[in-house]
Amino acid sequence: MFKSVITCGEDKPVPMLLPSAGDLKGNQDTIFTTSFNTRYCYMITHLCVHNQTAVMYNRYSVLRDCTLENYRNDEKALIFSVITSGKACEILNGQQVEHSEGAVNVGIMSSNSTHIMHLAAGSNFEKVSVMMSETDYRMYNERYPVVFSNFAKYFDAPHPYVGEIDDSNGKILASARDLQNAVFSRSINPYFVEGLIVECLVNYYHGSNEIQLPEKYVTCRKIFQARDILTEQFNNPPTLRELAATVGTNECTLKKVFKEMFSMTVFDYLNDYRMNKAVRLLADESLTIGEVGEMLGFSSQSHFTTAFRKNYGIAPKEYRENNLNPERGSVPLGTPGPNFRVNSAKMMGN
């Protein structure tokens, strides 16, 4: 069990319980979400589990000094955490110590241990943490001894170990943010999660990725690169063949692994990204409907209107008029139409 208790001044402590990796044996790759909200502190947690390793995403917003106690009763664990955005102000011996984006903590925590953190008002940050059980650590150490053998002496030591660095080249932060995205995914790819954990710790100890990573992880990394290309070139996307060649794989692998990782096809992902962006752009009333469509890569306003209507069940002009003018009342976006996915494929040249 993993338990968090938050206390603000004289207020009654507020507990939050999460299952630990050890509680979930036989129930692999599960995502849990919970949150608690007091008058002075808000915290949301997403937890995914792979084998006996938990990956946790936390977002904190603190209006008043508070104390956060994290208690776990699982086996001894390697704890690795990265602040992925914002700033945490921790109170240590009466002094405020700031931990900014890219701050990295690594430690070995014993079983039945409690970690206490005093957060100052104004702390507003996101953090990704990896809690690797000793059982999983032994497995990782067999596969990647160059990295994990560095922690062996700390597992055998009688006292907990904690180390902190700043991610100077941004490589750990990039991997941690991909882990954060993995927690939010509807499908956790175990090879990708494992590879990202290894990548974070490689950069923590060695500053480079010179060790041999699993082939399946390398493939997953290529798929994430393909995803990034799509979001960067959404208004003029490459064909599937061009996209596969750019990231160094083949079209069949691209389509298969992309769907495994994101639970949707490449075309569906591009469509969702474009339509989400369309809604945001329509909020800018200085842009005409035609300009929004052009920015999204549509050849004409009518094509954009048709695509938007098929996806949301409402025309972009109607959406703007009713949702950006409160006196008219809002109109909810409708159910996506059945034909837009085909149009998305045509946009990518297939």
| DSSP secondary structure, 227-280, as one string | HHHHHHSTTSPPPHHHHHHHHTS-HHHHHHHHHHHHSS-HHHHHHHHHHHHHHH
Domain segments of the chain as ranges:
2-212, 230-347
pTM of the model as a whole: 0.62
Average pLDDT value over all residues in the chain: 78
Q: What is the CATH number of domain 2-212?
A: 2.60.120.10
pLDDT of residue 20: 61
Q: Burial-class residue 125 by CB neighbours within 10 Å (0-12, 13-18, 19+).
A: buried
pLDDT of residue 19: 63
pLDDT of residue 125: 93
Q: Could you tell me if 196 and 175 are in contact, meaning their C-beta atoms sit under 8 angstroms apart?
A: yes
Which residue numbers in the chain have pLDDT < 50?
A: 26, 28-29, 208-209, 328-350
The dihedral formed by the CA atoms of 283, 288, 290 and 294, expressed in degrees to the nearest 10: -60
Fold that domain 230-347 belongs to in CATH: Arc Repressor Mutant, subunit A (1.10.10)
Rg (CA), the chain: 23
Domains 2-212 and 230-347 share a fold: no
pLDDT of residue 331: 45
Separation between Cα atoms, residue 197 and residue 79, nearest integer Å: 11
pLDDT of residue 185: 63
pLDDT of residue 327: 52
b or e along 177-199 (b: 16 or more beta carbons within 10 Å of the residue's beta carbon)? bbbbbbbeeeebbebbbbbbbbb
Please report, for residues 20, 130, 287, the alpha-carbon distance to residue 296 in angstroms, rounded to integers and kept in the order given.
43, 37, 12
